[in-house]
Amino acid sequence: MSRISQDSSKRHFHWTKKVGTEDDDEAPTFKSSSNSNEEDKRENLKSHVAMPTPRKKLPAVAVARLRSVLTAFGKNRSSLPFGLGPRVVGTLFGYRRGHVHFAFQKDPNSPPAFLVELATPISGLVREMASGLVRIALECDKEKEEEKKAVRLLEEPVWRTYCNGKKCGFATRRECGAKEWKILKAVEPISMGAGVLPGSGADAGADGELMYMRAKFERIVGSRDSEAFYMMNPDSNGTPELSIYLLRV
């Protein structure tokens, strides 16, 4: 029985000898094979966990394209004409024997966010402004609920015009063409003031000189259906000489 038990123990345990000096007693130590398997598994698991997963880097071409797209998107957003802030640049202009044009710009070198042509002659408007304060109201109709569209107030095409309470015909929204843009570029260096620009070509003979007035306006948004623009004049003791109201009623 003792031999059988000794043989069976040799099967399951690895006997090793402790290396030491000759005087030391040799003491056998043993290690279980099952324990060694578990330790190997733990080592393998640690090695898998410790190794960081490599991150895939985007190619340089893809990164460059992404940056260019984001840059272009930012520029397009900043160049949108409808992003008016609380301070805008307003320009009133027209030929002496022509109609009044009015433009609002975000800054002096940006395209106009709002450009309309009034049926009022500019000479008549100049007389009104010389006599005192001028209030111009532009009104348009609200659409019915079933025909309602997401149209900005500044994009309305036709307006009824009132000057100091008197009806003055209609105003029409205009696109900024080459002719209008040339006028706005001519007065771009002027931050505030009024004057006359000499006409050129056929315009000089037909409608005479170009009259203009340019100033900064304070913009107040009441709702999606109402906005007001007040001319900022430091010499008017806080009272705006010209106010323009946009109403959708």
Q: State the pTM of this model.
A: 0.64
**Whole-Å CA distances, 240 to 31, 54, 88:** 99, 66, 15
pLDDT at position 241 is: 86
Residue-range domain boundaries for the chain: 92-100+108-143+151-248
**Whole-Å CA distances, 32 to 2, 9, 17, 178:** 21, 10, 15, 94
Per-residue pLDDT, averaged over 111-119, amounts to 96
Q: How confident is the model at residue 150 (pLDDT cuts 50, 70, 90)?
A: confident
Each residue of 117-134: pLDDT tens digit?
Answer: 999 898 888 888 888 889
DSSP β-ladder status, 87-95 and 99-105: antiparallel
Query: What is the four-CA torsion angle of 229, 124, 199, 160, rounded to 10 degrees?
Result: 50
Each residue of 38-73: pLDDT tens digit?
Answer: 666 566 555 544 455 555 555 776 667 767 656 654
Per-residue pLDDT, averaged over 150-161, amounts to 93
Q: What are the two backbone dihedrals, phi and then psi, of residue 192, each rounded to the nearest 5 degrees? A: -155, 135
Say how far apart CA 40 and CA 31 lie, in whole Å. 14
